[in-house]
Amino acid sequence: MFDRSRSRPVILAVSSGGGHWVQIQRLSAAFAGAEVHYATTDATAAETLGRARVHVFPDANKDTPLRLILCLLRMAWIVLSVRPDVVVSTGAAGGFLAIRLARLIGARTMFIDSIANARELSISARLALGVADRVLSQWPQVAAHTGAEYRGAVL
């Protein structure tokens, strides 16, 4: 829910590095008019964004449980300090964690699964199905059998 005391909505755009980062950048035009904060695992991302607010969190996955705990703690700090109205993520684990945490403070959330997942949803997207307001697949056949929605491809 948009905080009416703010002059414009606050969006937290979250992604891991690599292709996930490319995809979240492709969505930046959709964020026009909002105060946008980016969160990523790529510490060099701030160089490509100019004046945008960039928060860095540790990369983690199910095979790195200690890093996953660090990622959770850092993401909690990011979400609580930014207080987003909306969280959009293109994955992976950090994006799911951001969505999970943001739902606890009443933010609207969307998880967009990577274009690379042409046969099935990623683990993070499957987890997000039970939490996010919207989970999108970039493949119509994947959306048709998973419960995700298809609205087109980012790339």
Q: Write out pLDDT tens, residues 57-88.
A: 999 999 999 999 999 999 999 999 999 999 99
| Size of the chain, expressed as the number of residues it contains | 155
Residue 155 has pLDDT above 70, yes or no: no
Residue 4: per-residue pLDDT: 62
pLDDT exceeding 90 applies to what percent of the chain?
A: 87
Q: How far is 114 from 154, CA to CA, in rounded Å?
A: 9
Residue 151 has pLDDT above 80, yes or no: yes
Could you tell me which residues come within 8 angstroms of residue 59 by beta carbon, excluding any fewer than 6 positions away? 16, 17, 41, 67, 71, 93, 94
Structure confidence by residue, pLDDT tens digits, 92-113: 999 999 999 999 999 999 999 9
Name the residue with higher pLDDT: 80 or 153: 80
Mean pLDDT of 103-124: 96
CA atoms within 13 A on the CB side of 12: 33
Residue 3 has pLDDT above 70, yes or no: no
Domains of the chain, first to last: 10-150 (3.40.50.2000)
Torsion angle, CA of 64/66/67/70, rounded to 10 degrees?
Answer: 160
Tokens for 44, please give them: 């060099």
